[in-house]
């Protein structure tokens, strides 16, 4: 069989598995982050996938992963989007915290945290951004001061996705005065005394991200990941992985595109002009998908070139939302939570606003590309 036939056979197998899978009541495709209400069905679904060896596909085999080819990861993500199910409980634990712990964690940290992540027991949150430190992450002011047996944390984070349902947080905090070398990375139990989480409501009415306050939170020495002062390096690895994961979301756009085409057909709008714009967008999505596959297959997942994918994916996502708005006309005003054919598109259009901000804004990706890939002056 050729590679393509192999992949198509794999796709058919996964599609049939997902069609016949037992879906927990209340399961929906909630995207990378579950709301509080999604955690129950999302966890049950994750466990079902784990039983069938379909989680942590990119993790090394020794930690329960499958060291899977990019083709398998893409097909799985693609088929999950098609089936309208999430591919895992949430992205922070599996796609960010897991790889960080595998690379920088001690044996004890790996033993304690990786298996519960793999099994979907623990939701994690990423505690990087602050009111005065988003794009300029080196401006983090939340402080971790060394004490006799550990660290004392004071400060505030914001936009922390899933913090309201998380058991652990990946915390970037200031341990010294130097801008980059004064940062360290910690694991914070979210139920520790002094941690307060306040959910924020988004444009689509859901509440996925939060403000998090640290008021004299005590952490033990083994909460530190890597060494004191290594936080910036670890944060960059985490953000690199985040860009990579967000790039991979190109696959979930295909389903939305199909829904948009259907909405246009149902409204008798599919004239040559709209058809041409839709086809252009569709080809852009395929180009993105193949570029993502090629970039990962090249092996350097930390490459700044992933900024191209993050930039293009989020801007394409936005273009898709904008075109859906044109197709829907006044139906674009429906409640994104209702059960009309317009609702998933309205939801995607609203969420699409966030894509060019989260994981590093489009302007920051352009700066990275200009300076680190093209070698332009700062």
Ligand X SMILES: Cc1cc2nc3c(=O)[nH]c(=O)nc-3n(C[C@H](O)[C@H](O)[C@H](O)COP(=O)(O)OP(=O)(O)OC[C@H]3O[C@@H](n4cnc5c(N)ncnc54)[C@H](O)[C@@H]3O)c2cc1C
DSSP letter, residue 334: S
Per CB under 6 A, does 367 bind ligand X? Answer: yes
Instruction: State the minimum distance, in angstroms, from the CB of residue 188 to ligand X.
Output: 13
Nearer to ligand X (CB atom), residue 34 or residue 48: 34
Nearer to ligand X (CB atom), residue 344 or residue 352: 352
Count of chain residues binding ligand X (CB under 6 A): 18
Residue 277 neighbours by CB under 8 Å, 6+ apart: 323
Q: Which listed residue (8, 51, 242, 326) is catalytic?
A: 242
Please select the residue that binds ligand X; options are 30, 76, 124, 128, rule is CB under 6 A: 128
Query: Can you give the length of the chain in residues?
Result: 378
Instruction: State the minimum distance, in angstroms, from the CB of residue 183 to ligand X.
Output: 13
Please select the residue that binds ligand X; options are 73, 88, 142, 161, rule is CB under 6 A: 161
Say whether 143 sits in a helix, a strand or coil. strand
Taking alpha carbons only, the member of 312, 315, 303, 299 closest to residue 368 is: 303
Nearer to ligand X (CB atom), residue 209 or residue 214: 209
186 contacts 140 by C-beta, under 8 angstroms: no
Nearer to ligand X (CB atom), residue 328 or residue 358: 358
d(CA 60, CA 67): 5
Q: Which stretch binds ligand X (CB under 6 A): 38-46, 121-129, 229-237, 370-378?
A: 121-129
Per CB under 6 A, does 201 bind ligand X? Answer: no
Helices (H) and strands (E) in the chain, counts: 12, 8
Which position's Cβ is nearest ligand X?
134
Q: Which stretch binds ligand X (CB under 6 A): 19-27, 78-86, 183-191, 351-359?
A: 351-359
Per CB under 6 A, does 235 bind ligand X? Answer: no
Is 315 considered catalytic here? no
Q: Which stretch binds ligand X (CB under 6 A): 41-49, 77-85, 123-131, 182-190?
A: 123-131
Residue 300 has a CB neighbour count (10 Å cut-off) of: 11
d(CA 187, CA 109): 10
What's the token pair of residue 182? 């004064």
Please select the residue that binds ligand X; options are 72, 77, 253, 354, rule is CB under 6 A: 354
Taking alpha carbons only, the member of 239, 232, 215, 263 closest to residue 140 is: 232
Per CB under 6 A, does 135 bind ligand X? Answer: yes
d(CA 46, CA 54): 9
Per CB under 6 A, does 51 bind ligand X? Answer: no
Alpha carbon 186 to its chain's center:
20
What's the token pair of residue 25? 């009541």
Give the residues lining the site for ligand X (CB under 6 A). Answer: 125-126, 128-129, 134-135, 159-161, 209, 354, 357-358, 360-361, 363-364, 367
Active site residues: 242
């Amino acid at each position: 069989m050729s590679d393509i036939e192999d992949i198509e056979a794999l796709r058919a197998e996964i599609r049939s598995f997902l069609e016949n899978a037992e879906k927990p009541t209340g399961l929906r495709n909630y995207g990378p982050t579950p709301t509080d209400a999604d955690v129950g069905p999302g966890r049950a679904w994750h466990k079902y996938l784990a039983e069938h060896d379909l989680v942590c596909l990119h993790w090394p085999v020794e930690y329960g992963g499958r060291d899977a080819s990019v083709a398998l990861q893409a097909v799985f993500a693609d088929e999950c989007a098609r089936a309208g199910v999430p591919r895992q409980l949430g992205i922070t634990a599996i796609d960010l915290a897991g790889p960080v712990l595998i690379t920088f964690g001690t044996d004890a940290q790996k033993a304690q945290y990786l298996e519960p992540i793999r099994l979907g027991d623990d939701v994690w949150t990423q505690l990087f951004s602050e009111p005065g430190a988003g794009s300029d992450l080196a401006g983090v002011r939340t402080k971790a001061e060394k004490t006799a047996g550990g660290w004392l944390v004071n400060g505030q984070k914001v936009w922390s996705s899933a913090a309201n349902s998380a058991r652990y947080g990946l915390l970037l905090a200031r341990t010294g005065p130097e801008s980059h070398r004064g940062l360290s990375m910690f694991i914070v139990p979210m139920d520790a005394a002094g941690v307060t989480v306040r959910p924020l409501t988004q444009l689509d009415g859901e509440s996925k991200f939060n403000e998090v306050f640290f008021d004299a939170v005590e952490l033990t020495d083994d909460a530190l990941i890597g060494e004191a002062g290594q936080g910036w390096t670890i944060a960059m690895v985490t953000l690199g992985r985040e860009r990579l994961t967000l790039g991979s979301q190109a696959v979930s756009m295909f389903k939305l595109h199909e829904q948009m085409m259907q909405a246009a057909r149902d409204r008798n709008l599919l004239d040559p002009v709209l058809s041409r714009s839709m086809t252009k967008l569709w080809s852009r999505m395929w180009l993105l998908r193949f570029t993502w596959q090629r970039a990962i297959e090249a092996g350097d997942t930390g490459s700044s070139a992933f900024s191209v994918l993050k930039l293009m994916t989020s801007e394409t996502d936005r273009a898709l939302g904008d075109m859906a708005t044109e197709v829907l006309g006044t139906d674009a005003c429906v409640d994104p939570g209702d059960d009309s054919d317009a609702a998933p598109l309205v939801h995607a259009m609203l969420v699409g606003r966030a894509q060019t901000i989260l994981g590093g804004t489009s302007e920051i990706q352009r700066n990275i590309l200009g300076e680190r890939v093209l070698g332009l002056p700062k």
